[in-house]
Structure 1
Amino acid sequence: MKTDKTSRTAQYMALFRALETERDANDKLFSDHYAIHFLEAKLRFAARMSKYSIIRKYICNTIQKKIPGALSSGIARTKYIDDLLQSTVANGVTQVIILGAGFDTRALRLDFLESIPVIEIDHPNTSNFKTETYKSRIGNLSKNIEFYQIDFNKQSLEELAAQHNFDFTKPTTVIWEGVTNYLTEDAIKNTFSFIAKFTTNSYVIFTYVHKKILENPCSFLGGEKLLENLDKLEEKWTFGFRPEELSNYLKQFGILLLEDMGATEYRAKYLPNRAENGYEFYRAAMAIKQ
């Protein structure tokens, strides 16, 4: 991705959350009234018009044809991560860090985070766009949210932590959503090493893609076309895990895998009445620092 623009895929995820917000109260997993503010004009218009069932059906069918399974996977995964995060807070977490925060709005929309410090870390371009959008659309933000900027070409997470005096003694949950598939293996290792600095009973909630999608895209519905489109957007996927190897991989950092679900599983859990195929390669996991 070019460094002078925000992620197109982040826009799509915000669109998915905005579409979910327009559903009837008894038919939606969550509401995110902030997501729509991050959308370009035509996507914002589409989200607002989706309150009409015939238009919603057209939008959802169009998304399913272009990116099979992405919409339902994205919505179910959002709710799954929300619930995982809430469980960690119930277990004593007193600080949340969101790596590569993008257009994540959990710090604002989840009531159980109101009194918990939330640190969002992202590239300066995305972070500036987000904070300016918040200021212009929402006004003053809660004092529990901090926005820190990092250019990984110039600075490490350790340097950022030293600059801002991170407290590694606080039980912390790190959310790392929609990022690992864009990184190198060294960057993955460095990030898990950083996460491992936090105290015992800290958590990491992260997403990843099945390594098989990178090796043989045709093995998944819509996989080949998806990777081609990502290349055109200059948002190429570069890294994946094999689910059966993830637990052992994390052990080298003193981190224990607790949960690991693919799209088929979290869709079945949260959207049993919205049958949709595709995106089975996109997974979400939670682990704990021992």
Structure 2
Amino acid sequence: MTRNPAAQTAFGPMLLAAVEQNETAEHRLVDDDLADLFLPAPLRWLVSATRYAPLRRALIKVSEWSGPGLWVNLCCRKRFVGDKLSEALDNIDAVVILGAGFDTRAYRLTRQVRIPVFEADLPVNIARKAKTVRRVLGELPLSVRLVAVDFEHDDLLTALAEHGYLTDYRVFFICEGVTQYLTEDAVRRTFEGLRAAAPGSRIVFTYVRRDFIDGTNRYGTRTLYRSVRRRRQLWHFGLQPDDVAGFLSEYGWRLVDQAGPDELVQRYVEHTGRKLGASQLEWSAYAEKS
């Protein structure tokens, strides 16, 4: 399998989610009882060590050094996605998770409903995901389909159709922590494909701000900028919050809600009593198909 630098980032968000499970319920930013199990052994050992609160606080502090506020963004965007999905469950026929990585949402969702869930990602991640699911659950749930696709080169709808996707499904699309890793051409091609989604479909996605991508504002994350824009050149695409509605309307979608840092903190952090801020760098958006 070909190594892909973006594929190597799949574990990070799940590590944060797993560490958060060591917080008490009232202080936790995100609930995910499978996150720890889906990680490789060395990361599971690290998560286990963070049961000791001082080590947990130290890990969060280290993450803040490279990207101030991103711990909150990465944890709370999962809450935002989960809230929107829960609200829509009675009115959708399928879920498609783009760039699924090692996210556990599909497997937690099977506890609630039996609608088809398509997890689409790079072939290397799909192979690792299949192996991980069999290790943790014994077998792949019948309602979950793993779809290998390269968003830069492959046709998304063709790949989904090969696994049973129907164009008349009212679909809930999830694209969490993905768009920045794609070129603008790939993002636009993906949204062009989603133009065919049935009325009543929904999409929730995250994006980084375009002024970070072009280097005019680094939002206090100089180390992160050097890593993802200069050294490894992992991030390519960004949007500005004021431009999201117009971008979506080009492809037949209507913006319903956006959550920037202030909204994330207000919705998900303040009631925990934890003194954590969110970064202006990443936002979450929710839209419906006209």
Q: TM-score, normalised by structure 1?
A: 0.90
Aligned partner of 1:264: which letter?
D
Equivalent residue, structure 1, for 2:150: 151
Question: What are the equivalent positions in structure 2 for 1:9-88 lying under 5 Å apart?
Answer: 9-88=9-88
Question: What are the equivalent positions in structure 2 for 1:69-218 lying under 5 Å apart?
Answer: 69-90=69-90, 92-110=91-109, 113-152=112-151, 154-216=153-215, 218=217
Task: Measure, in 2, the Cα distance between the counterparts of 1:138 and 1:66.
Answer: 35
Q: Residue 271 of structure 1: SS of its match in structure 2?
A: helix
Residues 133-160 of structure 1: CA distance to partner in whole angstroms, max 9, x if unpaired?
1112321232111111113455311321
Task: Measure, in 2, the Cα distance between the counterparts of 1:23 and 1:17.
Answer: 10
Aligned partner of 1:234: which letter?
R
Task: Measure, in 2, the Cα distance between the counterparts of 1:236 and 1:4.
Answer: 10
Task: Measure, in 1, the Cα distance between the counterparts of 2:231 and 2:138.
Answer: 32
- Alpha carbons of structure 1 residues 40 and 144: separation in structure 2 relative to 1, 3 Å: closer
- Alpha carbons of structure 1 residues 82 and 219: separation in structure 2 relative to 1, 3 Å: same
Moved more, 2-11 or 72-81: 2-11
Q: Residue 87 of structure 1: SS of its match in structure 2?
A: helix
Aligned partner of 1:245: which letter?
D
Task: Measure, in 2, the Cα distance between the counterparts of 1:276 and 1:286.
Answer: 24
- Count of paired positions: 287
- Alpha carbons of structure 1 residues 126 and 235: separation in structure 2 relative to 1, 3 Å: farther
Matching residue within 235, 238, 252 for 2:236: 238
- Alpha carbons of structure 1 residues 182 and 6: separation in structure 2 relative to 1, 3 Å: closer
Confirm or deny: 8 A CA contact 1:204 1:287 kept in the other structure.
yes
Confirm or deny: 8 A CA contact 2:151 2:182 kept in the other structure.
no
- Alpha carbons of structure 1 residues 112 and 165: separation in structure 2 relative to 1, 3 Å: closer
Task: Measure, in 1, the Cα distance between the counterparts of 2:103 and 2:136.
Answer: 16
Structure 2 gaps, min length 5: none
Task: Measure, in 2, the Cα distance between the counterparts of 1:59 and 1:146.
Answer: 34
- Alpha carbons of structure 1 residues 162 and 78: separation in structure 2 relative to 1, 3 Å: closer
- Alpha carbons of structure 1 residues 5 and 38: separation in structure 2 relative to 1, 3 Å: farther
Aligned partner of 1:120: which letter?
E
Residues 110-169 of structure 1: CA distance to partner in whole angstroms, max 9, x if unpaired?
466432211111111001001101112321232111111113455311321443342111
Q: Residue 15 of structure 2: SS of its match in structure 1?
A: helix
Task: Measure, in 2, the Cα distance between the counterparts of 1:163 and 1:178.
Answer: 25
Moved more, 122-131 or 65-74: 65-74
Percent of counterpart pairs with the same letter? 29
- Alpha carbons of structure 1 residues 233 and 123: separation in structure 2 relative to 1, 3 Å: farther
CA positional deviation for 1:54: 1.7
Task: Measure, in 2, the Cα distance between the counterparts of 1:286 and 1:43.
Answer: 32
Over 6 Å off, 4+ runs:
none
Equivalent residue, structure 1, for 2:248: 250
Aligned partner of 1:58: which letter?
A
Task: Measure, in 2, the Cα distance between the counterparts of 1:153 and 1:271.
Answer: 36
